[in-house]
Amino acid sequence: MTTSDWPLWEVFVRSRRGLSHTHAGSLHAPDAQMALRNARDLYTRRSEGVSIWVVPSTEITASSPDEKDPFFEPSADKPYRHPTFYEVPEGVKNL
């Protein structure tokens, strides 16, 4: 296998404990362990990460931007998911 045949990996980094992983970028690597090591060297050079996920790009399934209206339309008919039916007491900063 040559370097041009290496699969593409998507890299997700969590910068601090308690935060979500965010997409940091992509890289090519022959396997998951090498992808993890390369991601560490490339995306956390200044100690800004505490956790890294690498995922083969071929395993990611995404919705199509062309279908955004019909795909997300069913969520509009569930108003109970939005906190608009009660009043927030004074002094409450975060729910």
pLDDT band at 91 (very low <50, low <70, confident <90, very high): confident
CA separation for the pair 35, 61 (Å, rounded)? 20
Domain layout of the chain by residue ranges: 3-63
pLDDT tens profile 45-78 = 877 789 999 999 999 998 888 887 777 776 666 6
> For the stretch 29-39, what's the b/e string if a residue is b when 16 or more beta carbons lie within 10 angstroms of its beta carbon?
beeeeebbebb
Q: Which helix (H) or strand (E) holds 72?
A: helix 68-72
Instruction: Check pLDDT > 90 for residue 10.
Output: yes
DSSP code, position 17: T
What is the structure's pLDDT at 42?
93
> What percent of the chain shows pLDDT beyond 90?
46
CATH topology of domain 3-63: Ubiquitin-like (UB roll) (3.10.20)
CA 3-8-12 angle, to 5 degrees, is: 130
